[in-house]
Amino acid sequence: MIGKLIIATILTGIITGAFITFYELLIVFLTYFIFDGDPLKTVPTLPVWYLYLVPTVAIFFVNYLSSKDSNIREYGVSEIAESVSENRMVLKVKTLFLKILASAMSLSSGFMVGTEGPSATIGAMIAYQIHRLFRLPTMLIKMMISVGASAGIAAIFVSPMTGIAFAVENIAYQFIKQYITYLILASVIAFAITANYLDTITFAHSAGRVMDNNYIISNLFFIPFITVFIYLYLFMKKKVLHFIDIELFKKYHNYRNHIFALLGGGVIGTILLLEPQAAFSGKEIVINLMNQENHISIFVIFTIIFLRIIGTTVAIYSNAVGGVFLPLMSIGALIGYGFGEMMSFFMFPVEPFYFAAIGASIFMGIIMKLPLTAVVLSLETTFDYNVVIASGISVVLVEYFSNIFFTIKKNYVNKADKIEKS
């Protein structure tokens, strides 16, 4: 049995790595095809009607695919594991390809969703098929799905430790003592494959173990600063749009998806028109802010923050297929960079890109309730103790302050119809 598990795990890592590479490259191809090149350069030259048409048609197409196979919608991996093990969900190969297509269309048309949710699900689906191929015991379905999800996260972030931490913290904690070796094996193999083709999030300014007390001190001011924006994000998502979804559409529930698709297409089209950098998954924003030495104006930074908060929450309700990991990181990076610019303005000796790295991990860790993953991500992307220590302290304190007025659920963080009123 152990030999079978090792072979199944290796195959899961190899196939997941290949599929995630294809998935990421497909998104890039469709984005450049739809916008006739790099959208950050071509969007200002395209007709206004086209900027509204693209996301609207894309989200209607995604909703159509979801109506044909509800399993391609965005679910938590833990929910998938439970549903499959209880025979409430069957993951077919057809579902895998439709999932990739629906997510690629969502992302390439400008919707602010991430690649990590679909990547985890793609890995889970692949692991499930390998479980069936090897005729492994039913009791190992959850374990194999966890292995696949871990491989998917490690592959898309080109970051093995982040994949392992995500799986352990989010879906595989009950298996940790017995099956951690398989999570490690699949994650490392999937990472090794995608490392040759995809770009990782890196931090060019790492000081390693050298500590600078200026960042520790200024982080005390950053904690209440980023808490305000987390309140704003949660207010938009859990109060405004949830109220629209539950109360205003009570009488028109049958048309809910169509109305939100039109709303989503209109919002994304407007964001593309106003500021193309505020659209899409946000990975490029995170990389640029964490490594860019040319300072960006505070006005532009906070404009993009506001647009991304609106766009991300609307994308969730529009049923765009994708996760929220990267979009949340991008919002956090923008908030951190803006804070760093303000501190520099008041002659405090800190660099904005440091707080971009800190903010990216904190914002994601709080909203998704993944504090361990946040700290591991900050460590693996920056290898800088100034970032890691600030992230570790902040993710705990900011979560405490956020829970005073909001109840943040770990499950279904990217499913609009499962969010409970707080």
- Domains of the chain with CATH codes: 2-194 (1.10.3080.10), 213-418 (1.10.3080.10)
Cβ pair 409, 385 in contact under 8 A: no
Structure tokens at 254: 């049958």
- Please report, in tens digits, the pLDDT of each residue of the chain (422 residues total): 778 889 999 999 999 999 999 999 999 999 999 999 999 899 999 999 999 999 999 999 999 998 888 888 776 666 666 666 666 667 788 888 999 999 999 999 999 888 888 898 899 889 989 998 998 888 888 888 888 888 998 898 888 888 778 777 765 555 566 677 887 888 889 989 998 888 777 787 887 878 888 787 888 899 999 999 999 888 877 766 666 666 656 666 677 778 778 888 999 999 999 888 888 888 888 888 888 756 778 888 889 988 898 888 888 778 888 888 889 999 999 999 999 888 888 878 888 888 999 999 999 999 888 888 888 888 888 888 888 888 999 999 998 888 888 777 654 444 544 433 33
Radius of gyration of the chain (CA): 20
CA nearest to 356, candidates 289, 299, 277, 307: 289
pLDDT value at position 422?
Answer: 36
Integer CA distances (angstroms), 29 to 26, 36, 191, 326, in order: 5, 10, 22, 19
Integer CA distances (angstroms), 9 to 48, 72, 158, in order: 48, 24, 18
Kindly tell me the burial class for residue 293, based on how many C-beta atoms sit within 10 Å of its own C-beta (0-12, 13-18, 19 or more).
exposed
Residue type (1 letter), 217: I
DSSP 402-414: HTTT----STTTT
pLDDT value at position 417?
Answer: 45
d(CA 415, CA 282): 19
pLDDT value at position 321?
Answer: 87
Cβ pair 239, 405 in contact under 8 A: no
pLDDT value at position 180?
Answer: 75
pLDDT value at position 77?
Answer: 63
